[in-house]
Amino acid sequence: MIYSRITGTGSYLPEKVLTNRDLEKIVETSDEWIRERTGIAQRHVVADDESTCDLAEQAARRAMEMAGRRPEDIDLIIVGTTTPDQVFPSTACLLQQRLGVHNGSPAFDVQAVCTGFVYALGVADQFIRAGSARCALVVGAETISRILDWNDRGTCVLFGDGAGAVVLEASDKPGVLSTHLHADGRYENLLSVPRGVGRGYKDMIAGEAYLQMKGNEVFKWAVNTLGRIVEETLEKHGLEQSQVDWLIPHQANIRIIQATARKLKLPMEKVVVTVENHGNTSAASVPMALDEAVRDGRIQPGQLVLMEAFGGGFTWGSALVYF
C-alpha cells in the first residue's frame, strides 16, 4: 500500500503590513470593530511589483529545504490559487520554471478559493496513492488584496496575502489518512468575484473585478459546514475528537474557528490560530498555519493533525494527516 506523507513545510508573507489602524484611514472602521468581529489585528499585502508566484516560490523553496529535496526530485506541482499571476500559463507552470524543475512532470492549478490548498492536497494524495507521482510540491498562494474593493469595509478589512507549501512524498507508512472534498455551486451569490474572461470582461480589464460577500450568511454556512466535515472525517476512521492532536482550520474569522472548536469539544490550546496576524489569506491560510506550528515545535512527529477549510463556490474540505 502506498501512502503520501508530508516531509517538509514552508511559508512566506510579503513584507508590507497593514494594521487595523492603517485601515481606519482608508474606510469607516475601527481597530476595535475589526478585532471584536474577526480577531484580526493586521495582515500582510503585496507590493505593486510582487505576485502570487513570487510568494509561492519562497514558500516552496522553504518546504523543499526542510524536506531535503532538490528541483529534479519534484515530479508534480499543484498550486491552489484564485489569484493566479496570469490567465495562462498556470501559476504552477510559472513556479515550475522558477524552481528549475525541468523534468517534464505535470504542473497545474486548482481553484477552490479558501479551500484551494485542501483540494490541492487531496489531488496530490490521489496521484501518489495511484503511483503516478512520488514527490509532489503542493502550494496554497494568494494575492487577494488585488481583488478587494478598498472602499468596501465589509470585505477589505478581512483579507491578507501570503503563501504556504508542503512537500508530499510516497511512503509505506500512513501520513495522509484521508481527504474529503466537497462543493455546492448553488451559493455563488453569497461569495464571489462576479467578473472574468467569460462574463464582465470589460469591467475586469477596467480594474473593477472585486470580491463580494454576504458576510453574515457565509458565516452561518461556514460554522455549520465545518462542524459537519470534521465529524465526517473522524467518523470515517472511528476516531474520537480527543484523539486529534491539532486542528488547523482555515483562518477566516476567530469566531468561526472558536465555534468549530466548541462543536468538536476541542480546547483552543489544540487549535492553531494565525488569523490575528495574517487575516484571511484564502488558499494560503491552512499551509501557513501548518508551517508555523511545525517550525515552532508544536506539531511533533507521530501526531494527528486535522486540517479544514471553507470558501467560495461554496467549497469545503478536510484532510486528516499523521506527521
How many CB atoms within 10 Å of residue 243?
A: 11
The C-alpha cell of 247 is what?
A: 486542528
Is the CB of 158 or the CB of 290 nearer to ligand ACO?
A: 158
Q: Whose Cβ is closer to ligand ACO: residue 96's or residue 281's? A: 281
3-state class (DSSP) for residue 259 = helix
Q: What sign results for the dihedral spanned by CA atoms 186, 192, 194, 197?
A: negative
User: Toward ligand ACO, which CB reaches closer, 29 or 303?
Assistant: 29
Question: Given the complex with ligand ACO, which of 162 and 175 has the nearer CB atom?
Answer: 162
Judged by CB, which is closer to ligand ACO: 71, or 154?
A: 154
- Report the distance separating Cα 41 and Cα 43, nearest Å: 7
- CB 177: neighbour CB atoms within 10 A? 17
Q: Is 250 helix (H, G, I), strand (E, B) or coil?
A: coil
Task: Give the shortest CB-100-to-ligand ACO separation in angstroms.
Answer: 32
CA 178, CA 217: separation in Å to the nearest integer?
29
Residues that bind ligand ACO (CB under 6 A): 29, 33-34, 37-38, 113-114, 153-154, 157-158, 191, 215-216, 218-219, 222, 252-253, 256, 280, 282, 310-312
What are the C-alpha distances in Å from 34 to residues 16, 24, 37? 19, 10, 5
Strand order in the sheet with 3-12: 3-12, 162-171, 135-142, 76-80, 107-110
Shortest gap between Cβ of 308 and ligand ACO (angstroms)? Answer: 12
The DSSP line for 209-227 is ---EE-HHHHHHHHHHHHH
Cβ 112 vs Cβ 311: under 8 Å: yes
Residue 104 C-beta: closest distance to ligand ACO, Å: 34
Tell me the closest approach of the beta carbon of residue 312 to ligand ACO, in angstroms. Answer: 4
Query: In the complex, what is the shortest distance from the CB of residue 198 to ligand ACO, in angstroms, rounded to a whole number?
Result: 20
- The alpha-helical segments, DSSP class H, found in 86-161 are 91-99, 116-129, 153-156
Residue 265 phi, psi dihedral angles, 5° rounding: 55, 35
280 classed as catalytic: yes
* Residue of 53, 250, 253, 278 marked catalytic: 250
Name the active-site residue from 93, 114, 135, 156: 114
93 is catalytic: no
Choose between 67 and 226: whose C-beta lies nearer to ligand ACO: 226
Find the shortest distance in angstroms from Cβ 257 to ligand ACO. Answer: 10
Contact 11, 291 (CB under 8 A): yes
**Catalytically annotated residues:** 114, 250, 280
